[in-house]
Structure 1
C-alpha cells in the first residue's frame, strides 16, 4: 500500500507521514455519507484496496501511515470490517511486497489468501503479499497494524518467507510484543520528525524485529538481535522512564516488571547510552522542577510541593541536586526567573 496525498483531502501530511481520521470529516454529514466520503478519500490515498464497515454501529476510522526508507508502516482502528485486494485491483496497482499484519486489539483478524485461512487473536500476526488476491476480516471493531516490506529485502533475512504466507504466527513471541509497542511509539504524533538518518534507523529496526518474528536465519537473527531488538527494547525503556519518572517509588525493578525484562538487562542497555537509570531519572525530575519554578502557573506552589510533584521525596536532597545542576538553589532560581 503506497498512500498518496492529494490537495484538499482530509488528511494531515508531514513529510513521509500521513494521519487520516474520520474526525476530520464535515460534522454535518450523516453516518452513511461519512463512510462514503471516507471511502472515496481513503481509496485516493491508498489505491487498489476495497473495504466495508460494520453497519450496526456508528462509523469511525483512523489511519496513520509512515514510510521509513523502503519500508512502510500503517496503524488502523475503527469500525472497518473487511479489506480486500482483488485481481483487478492488483492489475491497477501491482507490487509483490510482503505485508505483516499485527493484531493490536482483542477482536480476531482473519486472512484468506492462496486458499488458506489464518486467524490472529490479540497480539497475533500473519504474513501476506500484495501480489495475490486476498481478503482480511475483523470479527468486531478493532485495531491492527501493517508493515509492508519489499520482497527482496525480507528474503535476504528470511529466505523461506513465502512458506509463511497466511499462516498464524505465535503471539507469545517477544519479538511480536516489542514490534507492537515499537510501531505505536514511532507513529506517535509527538515523535514525528524529518530526520532521514533517524528514519533509516527506524526502518532497519522494524525490519530486524519482523525478521526475528518470522524466524530469520541464524546469522541474520544474531545481527537483528544485536541491532533491531535491542534498539526496540531501549526505545521502550526510555519511553517508560519518561512516562513514570515523577513516581517517587519508580525504580529499575518497577520498570523491569512493567515491560517484562530483568533489571540487570535494563541497566546494561542504559549503560550503552552512557547514562544510568538513576542519572536519567534525576535529570528528568530536575528539568521538570526547573520548568515549574519558571512558570507563572506554579507561582503559588511551595518549592517543596513542586519537588514532590516531580518525584522527589527528600527536600534536602532535591535542594542539593538542583544547586549542583543549575548553580542556584530552587528558591534563588525562582526569584531570578
Structure 2
C-alpha cells in the first residue's frame, strides 16, 4: 500500500507449503528489502512461520524520501540466520538500525564485536558494514532504520553505540515499541504532514534511546517523547474505562511520571484529563447503545461498565454531549435493527 509519503507491505508464510517458506521469504524480503541473505537453520519441516509488516515514511524533509525511516515488525516461530554480505553493501545504504526485542533473543556480530539482545532491550547496528545476525529461537521484534546522517546530527556518539546493548526495560524503548502501533492507524497517517510528524517522533525516540545531545534531547522530549507518552496514556485509558479511578495520580504511577506532567500532556491538546476520560466513556456508552448485541443490558448497566458512578450525572453529560437522551439512541438502534430484515425480505 502506498499513500502520500508512506509505503507499507505485509508478508506471511501461513498459506505457503512448508518447504517453500524460507525460499519465498528470502525472495520477497531478504535480498530485495532487508538486503540480507537468509540462511538455515530456519526450519523447513512445517514448524517455521513468519508474519511481518514493513513501513517506509518520509521524515525530516517531507519532500525528500531519502531522509525517510523504515520500520520492520516481525514474528518468527523458529530461529535462523541473516547475513549482510560485502556484495550487498554495494547498495550504498548506510542506515543505522535500532532493534528492539519483545520476545526472544538476537545475537549480532559486526565490526569485530558480538552482542546479544535480550527481551525488552535494544541494540544498534550499521547497514554500512557486513554483519551476521542469529535468532536462537522464536522471536518478536521491531527494527527501525534511520539515515545515519540524520541520527548522527541528534546523537553524535551513535557510531560508538554500535553493538552496545541498550538497557532492558528502558522507558523510552517501551514507548517506542508502543508508539509504532500508530503505523496501523490510517487516520493518524492520512496526510503527508501527519506522516512527517510520526516519522519525526520515531526519530526522536530513537535518538533518546541511543543518547541524544542535550539540545536534541530537550527537543525530542517536547515532541516525540510527549507524543508517544500521550498516545500510550490514551490507549491505557481506552483499555481501562471500566476502572472508576483514572485520575492523574493513578495514571502517573502507571506511567512513572508526575500527575502534573499528565495534566500538561492533555493541556497541550486544548483539553483536560477529566474531559478526555468523560468523552471516551460517553463514546463507549453510545457505541454499546447503538449495538443490538447489547440490547439485553440496561442503560444503567452499560453506563456503570464504562466507568460512570452516578446515573443522573451520566444522563446529563450524555445529553449535553450528543444532544439526545441515551434511551433515544437505543430506541433508534432497535428500530433500525427491526427495519433491516424487513427491507431484505422485500
User: Residue 253 of structure 1: CA displacement?
Assistant: 3.3
User: Is 1:236–2:225 an aligned residue pair?
Assistant: no
User: Is 1:82–2:81 an aligned residue pair?
Assistant: yes
> How far apart in 2 are the matches of 1:14 and 1:239?
27
Alignment map for 1:153-302 (pairs within 5 Å): 153-183=150-180, 185-188=181-184, 193-302=189-298
Give CA deviations for 1:15-37 in whole Å, capped at 9, x if unaligned.
Answer: 311121223x34xx2x2223333
Distance 1:332 1:95, change over 3 A: closer
12, 17, 34: which one aligns with 2:8 = 17
Greater displacement, 124-133 / 250-259: 250-259
Q: 3-state SS of the aligned residue for 1:275?
A: coil
> How far apart in 2 are the matches of 1:276 and 1:219?
29
User: Residue 294 of structure 1: CA displacement?
Assistant: 2.7
Question: With structure 2 as the length reference, what TM-score do the two structures score?
Answer: 0.84
In the other structure, the counterpart of 2:340 is: none
> How far apart in 2 are the matches of 1:41 and 1:206?
26
CA contact (8 A) 2:31 2:37 kept: no
Gaps of 5+ in 2: 59-67, 334-346
Gaps of 5+ in 1: 1-12
User: Residue 156 of structure 1: CA displacement?
Assistant: 0.9
Give CA deviations for 1:261-288 in whole Å, capped at 9, x if unaligned.
Answer: 2333212211221221211111111122
> How far apart in 2 are the matches of 1:88 and 1:103?
28
> How far apart in 1 are the matches of 2:117 and 2:132?
14
The count of corresponding residues between Structure 1 and Structure 2 is: 318
> How far apart in 2 are the matches of 1:216 and 1:96?
19
Q: 3-state SS of the aligned residue for 1:325?
A: helix
Alignment map for 1:137-156 (pairs within 5 Å): 137-156=134-153
> How far apart in 1 are the matches of 2:203 and 2:110?
23
Alignment map for 1:316-335 (pairs within 5 Å): 316-335=312-331
305, 309, 323: which one aligns with 2:305 = 309
Question: With structure 1 as the length reference, what TM-score do the two structures score?
Answer: 0.86
Q: 3-state SS of the aligned residue for 1:273?
A: coil
Q: 3-state SS of the aligned residue for 2:92?
A: coil
CA contact (8 A) 1:64 1:187 kept: no
Give RMSD over aligned pairs: 2.2
CA contact (8 A) 1:101 1:146 kept: yes
User: Residue 317 of structure 1: CA displacement?
Assistant: 1.7
